[in-house]
A and B are shown apart, each in its own frame.
Chain A
Amino acid sequence: MTETTQVRELTPGDAITVEVLRDFLFTVLRHDAIADVVVERMAFHARRGQLDAVGLAAVLPELIGDVLHVARKEDWTAIAEALIDSARDDLPGGGERR
């Protein structure tokens, strides 16, 4: 990493490069759960002659947040179970609780 690489610090000692961060955001915004809404928002603002990066930028976190907020505990649990299951072969003790 060069000294000029821009980073964002999540917590002290835990940073993410802007390049990786933006790639993450693009990936999320390209997802089926959001992509159509992004297109609709852009067209909505363009139709009114109000499409600009600042305005759109203000909306994008909301679009991601909206989806995150409808995820329930059972959804996160299902994800966690799948993650553990996928990693069981490589986890110490097979990932079993003791």
Chain B
Amino acid sequence: MSWIEIDGEVLRKIEEGAEPFFDSPNDALRRTFGLAPVERPSCEAVPRVEPPEGAPPIRGRPSRARSCELLPLEDYELPLLRALSGLGGSAPSAQVADAVEQLLGERLKLRDREPLASGDVRWENRLGFARLRAVERGYLRPDSRRGIWELAEAGIERLGEIEAELGRPGTEGR
């Protein structure tokens, strides 16, 4: 990894190409240059930094999870679309969340199920951002009533594409 200095104007351009909360600047630049997403290091490869012995415990706020400790946000897309489709294309967000949890099952990691300082469970919080991402991609309607998540035409098409791809040999278990 190399370090470079950039000015504020370039930083703003990178931010424009980045998906908030999802991307690092490197992710955004890779997408700009048409490069494949970088492979995240496995958790085993990244040693966890523990506080020094005798340090007072940090209270009230769980530590920030490393990306390798969480189910990637892109992995929420298919369960979200499937859940909504199974619920008739539109449903209260709590019902969608229940259905998504069923579909994700044990793919949700320990840290995904951790409670956050806000009282939310981490994966439910992330599902909110996955929903926003799906709205921005046109898969969910942006104008559904509050608390109701609704598939858009593009979402139905996207689900069909993924399901068709999963039906092809060699794509099982996605």
Contacts and interface: CB of A to CB of B under 8 A. Distances in A.
Interface in A37-54: 37, 39-40, 42-43, 46-49, 51
Contact of A47 (B15, B128, B129, B131): B15
Contacts of A23: 119
13 contacts: A26-B118, A29-B118, A30-B118, A32-B93, A32-B94, A33-B146, A36-B131, A39-B129, A42-B20, A43-B21, A43-B129, A47-B20, A49-B15
Contacts of A39: 128-129, 131-132
Contact of A36 (B16, B18, B20, B128): B128
Given A42-B20, A46-B21, 16 more contacts: A30-B119, A31-B147, A32-B94, A33-B147, A34-B146, A36-B93, A36-B128, A36-B131, A36-B132, A39-B132, A47-B15, A48-B15, A49-B11, A49-B12, A49-B15, A51-B20
Report which residue of B12, B18, B93, B128 has the largest number of chain A beta carbons within 10 angstroms of its beta carbon: B128
Contacts of B147: 31-33, 35-36
7 closest Cβ contacts across the A-B interface? A32-B147, A46-B20, A39-B128, A26-B119, A43-B20, A47-B20, A32-B93
Contacts of B12: 49
Q: Specify the main secondary structure of chain A where it touches its partner.
A: helix
Nearest to A38: B128
Looking at chain A, what size class is its interface with the partner chain? Answer: 20 to 34
Interface string B15-48: 1101011000000000000000000000000000
A40 B118 contact: no
A23 B117 CA distance: 10
Nearest to B117: A26
A86 interface: no
Contact of A37 (B15, B18, B119, B146): B146
Contacts of B132: 36, 39-40, 43
A35 B146 CA distance: 9
B4 to A, nearest CB: 18
A5 interface: no
B163 interface: no
A23 B60 CA distance: 13
A48 B8 CA distance: 12
A35 B15 contact: no
